[in-house]
Amino acid sequence: MSRSASRLTSSLSLDNHCSVLVSSPESARRPKSASEGVRINYDQQLLHEVWLSGLRSWRNRLSRFANNFKSGIYPSSVEFLVTIVALVFSSHLFLPFDPSLGLIHAIDAFVARRLSASSSVSSCVACVSFAVVVWLLKMLSMRYALKLLLMYKQWMYESRAHNKPSTATKVWLLLIRALTAHKSPSLYSYQASLPRLPLPPLDQTIARYLQSVRPLLDDTAFARTTRLAEQFRDGVGRKFQRYLWLKSWWASNYVSDWWEEFVYLRGRAPLMVNSNFYGIDALVTDGLTSKQTARAANLVYASLLFRKQIDRQELKPILVQNLVPLCSAQYERVFNTTRIPGADADRLSHLTDSPHIVVLHSGKFYKLTIHHKGRLLQPKQLQQLLDQIVADDAPANNGESRLASLTAADRRTWADTRHKWFSKGINRISLSAIEKAAFVLVLDSERFEAEDAAKLDRYGQLLLHGNGNDRWFDKSFNLIVARNARVGFNGEHSWADAPVMAHLWEFVLHYDFHVLQYDDDGNCRLGNGVDDASPPIRLKWDFADPLLRVIDDSFRNAQALLSDVDLRLFRHDAYGKGFIKTCRVSPDAYIQMALQLAYFRDQGHLSLTYEASMTRLFREGRTETVRPVTVESAQFVRAMESPDESASARRELLRAACGRHQRAYQEAMCGKGVDRHLFCLYVISQYLEVESEFLKQVLSEPWKLSTSQTPHGQVGLLDASKNPRHISAGGGFGPVADDGYGVSYIVAGEDVVFFHISSKRSSSATDSQRFRQHIDGALRDLRSLF
């Protein structure tokens, strides 16, 4: 065993089957086993570390309280309060009249009478009290004025449709700037001012739903659906709508809590492939480093800096057009969050802080403390500790290397196993270390390559599911670093949506490329090595034979599930956003029409299609569904397949379809979508135990084509036009339907679009490679129209 590996020695024995590895260079610091139990020799350094840990915790609490207060009073400020207090005192002392209309005098008399205070004290209390009341009224009026202004959404429809905004929008812009220009907002400053997600009228939702399914149904099926919809609208739908109206006024968001619970946490299918998603490194990483632990150390450090900015609310909220804020609520659970399995429903466990991460390497788990002497470990220090883990050549124990496959099992199996085998003893201690970690770092034994299509496909597959036993799928995210120092992540979906992880990823890669960097030998630049940092702790487990059988079964099931996934990545570099803009259409709408054409050629018909949009213009907003199949898109697709249509006619039909799609996307962002409203009505029907044939039909319709666009450069840290090396392939997800496709795409710069295409090998109806070719052909044909 090497010198660094020798520090990873076992020193605390609880019984014959389980032990926690505590590494320490001094034998005096090692716990000692005695017949009466465990006796620990405390030394001064250990007690000092405990003291520093407590101080850091209290500093974080005080900082969090101060930041919450500042965010809570936005767009006002403490400085404004001090100004009002000074003005009130000055006017009270020097003006010949009372600007408070006698209120200060009344408060003065009340304080003097009740508290028997001197005249100077009662006068000061009266002035301060009056100033605070004035400030509170001013703050509340500013907040509600801002909320009213943020309810205005006409600017979204005008931003691309007209060269100049309307007069109403110009006035709105001036008022927004007047309210917010004087103070820089923190991460949660706008939360109290964001409007609630509006509840659409039932008639409007029903009409839009019928319009969306018209191109997918023949006359007989559409007549039946229309009849069911009208019966629902004129019957129990009114009752359901009243309950939902009540919730929309009582709750911050009438959708998000039910969406999280019923769509995610109550799902019993495995998280791997079915729910979790992944993200990929920048494709060009030459000149960084080929050292796995160095890249991992920089990315861990950058991730923890991001966490620090969230905790201190120093991270700036994302502003649409540098003016309109998006909801930041999802950032709260990026770190220190784990999805805990349950028999009927999972739950999300979130801690306000976590002093460690967990490292998974060669089938072994290590707890790594991320602070030393009250400060965050710097990259060189982290690399030194990660080198110790990599140098540990002790083999994984029986069952240990496949332990993570339990998180890839169906949720009931994992919940039962967790309750039976991880509720006490060493298993509970070790599992708690994983679940309470800030995140999981995976030092993978595989190499991630992106030089050709086949290697890029494998890259995505390893990030989506790994080998089924080397990702802890319950954690909010796994940071994955390959043997050749390429990186990626696997994210759990219930706590947030992909744009939040994309923001973290943009920040992390930016810091890695431009701030932290590496020396000539490929090691971390920042920091100095330390010999007395808390060394890694290898987690130990007690695997009884029945538990080993469950783990082996879970691993075999995970292997079967991932083997069925047909994931392909497609780099389209013939043209990109730059050319599409010259066509005077939305790039997203253009790509969606290409997908519709490709799907029609692949399947011979159109199918119900899902595109995710966001509703984060509203408080606690998450997503809404855009339905790309419309009457206009169907006409365009059929025209492309008709030899009798001219290029000019096809071009105009494409523009009409793109315009309709863009309008639908805007409506979804403004809370006028169809699917979340119908979903909530269905939840109410289940609570009331009232069956609705219409809602059952709507909720049972399969999404044969599920799509999503990954944002690139949300906050401008990775500008592909200035740094083409920063182009990322984005990320992807597994197929939603057994006989359908999942497609994620990212518009990476002006000339490149990446597609992640997934389907199931067991389906005879789908083939990801075939669909990739159809997408390529559709994009070529669309370009030929211009």
User: Which residues participate in catalysis according to the annotation?
Assistant: 493
Neighbours of 94 (CB within 10 A): 7
Neighbours of 147 (CB within 10 A): 16
Q: What tokens does 156 get?
A: 């979204």
Burial class (CB in 10 A: 0-12, 13-18, 19+), 451: exposed
Please name the helix (run of DSSP H) or strand (run of DSSP E) that holds residue 418, with its range, or none.
helix 411-421
Name, in order, each residue with C-beta under 8 angstroms of 180's C-beta and a sequence gap of 6 or more. Answer: 75, 146
Burial class (CB in 10 A: 0-12, 13-18, 19+), 41: exposed
DSSP, res 349? E
N- to C-terminal Cα separation, the chain: 66
Angle at CA 178, nearest 5°, toward 174 and 181?
115
HSE-up (13 A, CA, CB side) for residue 518: 23
Which of 778, 780, 783 is CA-nearest to residue 743?
778
Which of 596, 612, 748 is CA-nearest to residue 658?
596
The CA–CA distances, whole Å, from 334 to 274, 286, 763 equal 20, 29, 35
Q: Which SS3 state, helix, strand or coil, does residue 281 take?
A: coil
Measure the CA–CA gap between 300 and 449, rounded to whole angstroms.
21
HSE-up (13 A, CA, CB side) for residue 121: 9
Name, in order, each residue with C-beta under 8 angstroms of 744's C-beta and a sequence gap of 6 or more. Answer: 277, 707, 708, 709, 710, 730, 731, 732, 733, 755, 756
663, 672 in Cβ contact below 8 A?
no
279, 463 in Cβ contact below 8 A?
yes
345, 417 in Cβ contact below 8 A?
no
Name, in order, each residue with C-beta under 8 angstroms of 306's C-beta and a sequence gap of 6 or more. Answer: 315, 334, 504, 507, 508
- What angle do the packed helices 587-603 and 768-783 form, to 10 degrees? 130
Q: Which SS3 state, helix, strand or coil, does residue 481 take?
A: strand
Q: Which residues pair with 357 in a beta bridge?
A: 368
Measure the CA–CA gap between 667 and 662, rounded to whole angstroms.
9
Residue carrying structure tokens 């009540």: 246
Q: Which SS3 state, helix, strand or coil, does residue 572 take?
A: strand
Please name the helix (run of DSSP H) or strand (run of DSSP E) that holds residue 135, with its range, or none.
helix 119-150
Measure the CA–CA gap between 67 and 64, rounded to whole angstroms.
5
Q: What tokens does 450 get?
A: 């992106």
Q: What is the CA radius of gyration of the chain?
A: 29
Helices and strands per DSSP (H, E), number in the chain: 24, 24
- CA 406 to the chain's CA centroid: 23
Q: What tokens does 378 get?
A: 């710097």
332, 321 in Cβ contact below 8 A?
no
Which of 483, 293, 515, 303 is CA-nearest to residue 383?
293
Q: Which SS3 state, helix, strand or coil, does residue 268 take?
A: coil
